[in-house]
Amino acid sequence: MGSQDSDRRGGRGRLFLVAVLIVAGAAIVGIAVATGGLRLGRTGHSTPSAEQAAQESCQSDVLKRLVAPATTHFSGIRAEASSLETDGKDLFPLTLEEPLKGIDISRITVLNVSGVVNAPTEVGSTLEDHFDCRAYFVDGKLAHTMVLFDHSH
């Protein structure tokens, strides 16, 4: 009779220990999912923010216009919302360039990316030049960029 009571108490102890381990494991998984440590149902690539997409595209466009893009350095990069200037600097891309040509302007938003580029020139000196880049989004998707430099390149 004594051995049956100890078997029951041992079984209850093991059952209690298993229940505690299950609850602790569930809590750890819940915390991992909530903090992003466990990415269920997601691929390894996250969608860049509008600011990131605009900055990357603008920097790429700046590099395409330079003599030695591999040795170019950027500094002071900022991305900020801007208004669409249909009778100013945005007139050309809105009226002549695809994919913005003919698009209803209410669907277009603009981010202005600005900064400084330090780039070698054709004669071997280094030019520090400010640039502005207009990043145009149609329905929230990056559609076009336009780079404006203080100096010609």
pLDDT tens profile 81-99? 999 999 988 998 888 888 9
pLDDT at residue 108, rounded to an integer? 96
Distance CA 55, CA 134 (A): 10
Could you tell me if 77 and 7 lie in one domain?
no
Distance CA 133, CA 115 (A): 9
Q: How many CB atoms lie within 10 A of CB 124?
A: 8
* Dihedral sign (CA 93, 97, 101, 103): negative
Distance CA 51, CA 59 (A): 12
Could you tell me if 37 and 69 lie in one domain?
no
Could you tell me if 63 and 25 lie in one domain?
no
Could you tell me if 136 and 94 lie in one domain?
yes
pLDDT at residue 35, rounded to an integer? 62
Single pTM value for the model = 0.66
Residues of the chain with pLDDT under 50: 41-42
pLDDT at residue 9, rounded to an integer? 59
Domain with 123 in it? 50-149
Q: Give me the number of domains the chain comprises.
A: 2
The structure tokens listed for 109 are 């938003």
Could you tell me if 59 and 117 lie in one domain?
yes
Could you tell me if 91 and 67 lie in one domain?
yes
